[in-house]
A and B are shown apart, each in its own frame.
Chain A
Amino acid sequence: MATTSTPPVEHRPTASQITLRVNGAAHRLTVDHRTTVLDALREHLGLIGAKKGCDHGQCGACTVLIDGHRINSCLTLAVAADGAQITTVEGLSDGEQPHPLQRAFLDHDGFQCGYCTPGQLCSAIGVLAEAADGHPSHVTPLPGTGSGAPPPGSPVPLTSSEIRERMSGNLCRCGAYTNIVDAIEEVAP
């Protein structure tokens, strides 16, 4: 092949040793600085539950919980999660006992192909926590606008429209949304 005029690349360290705490277990691993949490889970730790749908934070299939918050693991570098507590779909059940949301997804047929499901489940857990903490959404009535508006900081009731709005970062091409909403409504307080 012909040579090109690109200047030589200066090679600096491109990998670091980190600790990922996943589902309660600590994993020491050396990762390329470009490695995302998603690829670290899937390709380094063999945890295939978190899915790669777009790798650009557009579909939500890679959603996991980091320190209790839902995030797109494809947009998070592994080195930035050094030491953080990560929960994936594999860590949701309590031993043999499925998480209530897992049970509800089964009962309501909240999936078809299953590829978005781990992300939907982790995202739904995030939704439950955010609503309990009083985080408003686009459809939460503003305080002082009449009935249904929760006082600032108090838990937001998870109506079906709240669930629809808050789950819209997780795409499902099979179109299982109405069943997903039913499943989450069943578990929501």
Chain B
Amino acid sequence: MSHPEPGAPLGRLEGQLKVTGAARYAAEYTPRGTAYAWPVPATIARGTVTAVHDTDALAMPGALAVLSHHNAPRVTPADDPVLSVLQNAHVPHRGWYVALAIAESLEAARGMAAALHIDYAADEHDVVLTEGHARLYEPELANGGHPARREHGDFDAAYASAAVRVDATYTMAAQHNHPMEPHASTAEWDGDRLTVYDSNQGSTKVRDALATLFELRPEQVTVVSEHVGGGFGSKGTPRPQVVLAAMAARQLRRPVKLALPRNQLAAVVGHRAPTVQRLRIGADRKGGISALGHEIITHTSTVREFVEQAATPSRTMYTAPNSRTTHQVAALDVPTPSWMRAPGEASGMYALESAMDELAVALGMDPVELRVRNDPAIEPDTGKPFSSRHLVECLREGARRFGWEERDPRPRSRREGSLLIGTGVASATYPVLVSPSMAEACTVPGGGYRVRVNATDIGTGARTVLAQVAADALGVPVDHVLIDIGRSDLPAAPLAGGSSGTASWGWAVHHACRRLRALVMEAGGAETPTTTLRAFADTSGEADAESPYARHAFGAHFAEVAVDADTGETRVRRLLGVYAAGRILNSRTGHSQFIGGMVMGLGMALLEGSTMDPSFGDFAERDLASYHVPTCADTPAMEAHWIDEDDRHLNPMGSKGIGEIGIVGTAAAIGNAVHHATGVRLRELPMTPDKVLAHLN
């Protein structure tokens, strides 16, 4: 095998395992004597558990135990209070776990859970986010450590005096991650050593949380996450299943397997919080933006403050000498929101990019040209120069490939029978995030190299691309490299999230491999040295050093839709994305990530959203029959392209991270296309047929 070019479309190293059914996921480990657990969610929205009647459940054949706050092992609180399950009688939201049934079989555990009788003292609850809600407050920080409020210049005065103004409010229902593999753990104790097979996006963090919770040293805990069936943020932090499985295994002194039922996930693995976003943009008649206001209202739970940082892209995207970006949050009796693919950017760019389209219409200006007109030379909020910014190139290249110049800008100008046809554009951005990581590389007796790093492959192709990074740094063919990931006893590494995994792990892998290559050279340069040579890298202090540059990936999305004037149904015909995201390290898996993000963006635009039931305090759409994710038939012709960027201010690979940017502008592009097709500006996601139809006739 020849030395591959950087960015070569190498097939997934675990591909064979995945197409033959041999890849083993968390619930697919069954140590001898494994018992099965089934969790029991609270059926009130707020209050207290007053009694757990388990006689019937424990009388069932195969029953082993019922855990509740009465008898569950006490744990030391970890950073995240959602992990302190079964510790007291308080119910902070519907779906919070109040008991765990454990039995010899899955069927018996499920039967026990159904036979448990739990009494509650219910309190009044408050679950519906509204503008002007009495509990709204401005937090200090939004997710990601961003200040909740930023002001530049005099927004009010500039907006009031602007020649052209847009003032629009966009709302989004809650969205749910729903990775195909539900969150699962199999836990086994050997004395005071704990091993768990867990579905997560970063097992170093899970190990550390378990060590805290169960008062163990980190080296007493091993978390194995070799194959993970997607996460999209919901597995970025440890989730209750791993705590419950470990508790149950300790109590029963035997291995316990727990896979969360699909219809319980919405309450316990986070969600993209609903947002109400007010955009105000003031511009001169040539489209130059003088004032930009982006104000967010969102919810969090009473368990933990999580504030969707939806206004942050407005601090980066466009020139705006006078700006105000703010977040307000209400802590309601709802499940705790968390990360879902591109938290902040996906929500915020839907609103900003829809408002930009509204501004283009108000100005009578092409929406591509409006964006080009306001492309800033430096990052507006920080004043830092961009390490690289090729948004304009993405817009131009996308417009060319999409055939944008043939577009008649008048709304409702194309019709095919009952179908109204329209096209739309939106920009995308996602920050370059990176965290310190460790990695080790060594020579293998008999030839080749072994690289060890606790990366997690949640479907991104991490295993494959890290082997490519290693081979590149070692200067050897990629099939000379063995790569070990997905175990917490490997060198510690950050999670697969924030589009930061490859940059973070790859940086450490690169350094370890470069050092090993130097050792091999010192030892005479033989491919098979007589002794095992070993090199280690830790990028602490380097990867997390403050950069003098604003570092972001950019992209442009183009969409064509057909809206049925009789039914209100919107079908996407074409989706095209062009990205500028540094160096693409594997064109095959990179392309798949981009289009995967766009598919989820299509879902966000047209299908995905759940309703908070005011009476029961429940998300009404909790399963895949009612919460609609895109299917194969919903997915149109899709194209993803990229502009090669040579950015020396990132990491040794020159990559920016690509897992999230594909979703970011998609919903706005589709919404803008719906406006072009119909003349209707919906300002509400998802754009389901009922909402569209209400405006059509």
Could you list which residues of chain A lie within 8 angstroms of chain B, going by C-beta atoms?
Answer: 1-4, 6, 9, 11, 14, 32, 34-35, 39, 42-43, 46-56, 58-59, 61, 88-90, 92-93, 98, 102, 105-107, 109, 111-118, 121, 163-165, 167-181
Could you show 11 A-B contacts with beta carbons less than 8 Å apart? A14-B61, A34-B111, A39-B106, A53-B624, A89-B21, A112-B230, A112-B459, A114-B19, A114-B227, A175-B595, A175-B596
Docked Cα-Cα span, A40 to B117, in Å, equals 29
Q: Is B14 within 8 A of A43, CB to CB?
A: no
From 14 to 46 in chain B, residues with beta carbon under 8 angstroms from any chain A beta carbon are 14-25, 27-28, 30
State whether A113 and B179 are in contact (beta carbons under 8 Å apart), knowing that A1-B51, A56-B262 are contacts in the complex. yes
Interchain nearest-CB distance for A25 vs B (Å): 15
Which residue of B14, B180, B588 contacts A109 across the interface (Cβ within 8 Å)? B588
State whether A53 and B180 are in contact (beta carbons under 8 Å apart), knowing that A102-B19, A114-B227 are contacts in the complex. yes
Q: Is A171 within 8 A of B624, CB to CB?
A: yes
Docked Cα-Cα span, A177 to B592, in Å, equals 10
Which residue of A93, A106, A115, A170 contacts B632 across the interface (Cβ within 8 Å)? A170
Q: Is B635 within 8 A of A177, CB to CB?
A: yes
State whether A43 and B30 are in contact (beta carbons under 8 Å apart), knowing that A35-B107, A175-B599, A176-B596 are contacts in the complex. yes
State whether A173 and B20 are in contact (beta carbons under 8 Å apart), knowing that A112-B459, A180-B632 are contacts in the complex. no
Task: Please tell me if B164 contacts chain A, counting CB pairs below 8 Å.
Answer: no
Which residue of A2, A9, A35, A46 contacts B53 across the interface (Cβ within 8 Å)? A2
Residue of B nearest to A184 (CB): B632
Q: Is A111 within 8 A of B595, CB to CB?
A: no
Residues of B within 8 A of A113 (CB): 179-181, 227-230, 458-459
Q: Is A1 within 8 A of B632, CB to CB?
A: no
Q: A56-B624, A113-B230 are in contact. List 8 more A-B contacts (CB 8 A).
A: A53-B624, A59-B262, A89-B19, A109-B591, A115-B230, A173-B180, A175-B635, A179-B595
Residues of A within 8 A of B138 (CB): none
Docked Cα-Cα span, A113 to B230, in Å, equals 5
Residues of B within 8 A of A48 (CB): 21, 24-25, 28
Q: Is B108 within 8 A of A32, CB to CB?
A: yes
Question: From DSSP, what is the main secondary structure of chain A's interface residues?
Answer: loop
Chain B: interface residue total (CB-CB under 8 A): 75
Q: Is A52 within 8 A of B597, CB to CB?
A: no
Residues of A within 8 A of B458 (CB): 113
Interchain nearest-CB distance for A43 vs B (Å): 6
Residues of A within 8 A of B631 (CB): 168-169, 171, 177
Interchain nearest-CB distance for A62 vs B (Å): 11
Q: Is A109 within 8 A of B459, CB to CB?
A: no
Residue of B nearest to A33 (CB): B107
Docked Cα-Cα span, A38 to B461, in Å, equals 28
Q: Is A168 within 8 A of B180, CB to CB?
A: no
Residues of A within 8 A of B111 (CB): 34
Docked Cα-Cα span, A182 to B316, in Å, equals 38
Q: Is B181 within 8 A of A53, CB to CB?
A: yes
State whether A43 and B629 are in contact (beta carbons under 8 Å apart), knowing that A98-B20, A115-B230 are contacts in the complex. no
Residue of B nearest to A110 (CB): B19
Q: Is B106 within 8 A of A43, CB to CB?
A: yes
Q: Is A175 within 8 A of B597, CB to CB?
A: yes
Residues of B within 8 A of A171 (CB): 180, 624, 629, 631
Which residue of B106, B117, B461, B624 contacts A58 across the interface (Cβ within 8 Å)? B624
Residues of A within 8 A of B633 (CB): 164-165, 167-168
Q: Is B596 within 8 A of A98, CB to CB?
A: no
Docked Cα-Cα span, A63 to B76, in Å, equals 42
Interchain nearest-CB distance for B415 vs A (Å): 22
Residue of A nearest to B457 (CB): A113
Interchain nearest-CB distance for A46 vs B (Å): 7
Which residue of B21, B229, B632 contacts A177 across the interface (Cβ within 8 Å)? B632
Residues of A within 8 A of B460 (CB): 112
State whether A6 and B19 are in contact (beta carbons under 8 Å apart), knowing that A51-B180, A51-B181, A58-B624 are contacts in the complex. no
State whether A173 and B21 are in contact (beta carbons under 8 Å apart), knowing that A48-B28, A55-B262, A58-B624 are contacts in the complex. no
Interchain nearest-CB distance for B211 vs A (Å): 27
State whether A114 and B14 are in contact (beta carbons under 8 Å apart), knowing that A55-B261, A55-B262 are contacts in the complex. yes
Residues of A within 8 A of B597 (CB): 175
Residues of A within 8 A of B18 (CB): 111, 114, 117
Which residue of A59, A89, A173, A180 contacts B232 across the interface (Cβ within 8 Å)? A173
Docked Cα-Cα span, A61 to B106, in Å, equals 19
Residues of B within 8 A of A114 (CB): 14, 17-19, 23, 227, 229, 459
Task: Please tell me if B329 contacts chain A, counting CB pairs below 8 Å.
Answer: no
Q: Is B19 within 8 A of A117, CB to CB?
A: yes
Task: Please tell me if B589 contacts chain A, counting CB pairs below 8 Å.
Answer: yes
Residues of B within 8 A of A112 (CB): 230, 459-461, 589, 592-593, 596
Q: Is A175 within 8 A of B262, CB to CB?
A: no
Interchain nearest-CB distance for A44 vs B (Å): 10
Residues of B within 8 A of A167 (CB): 632-633
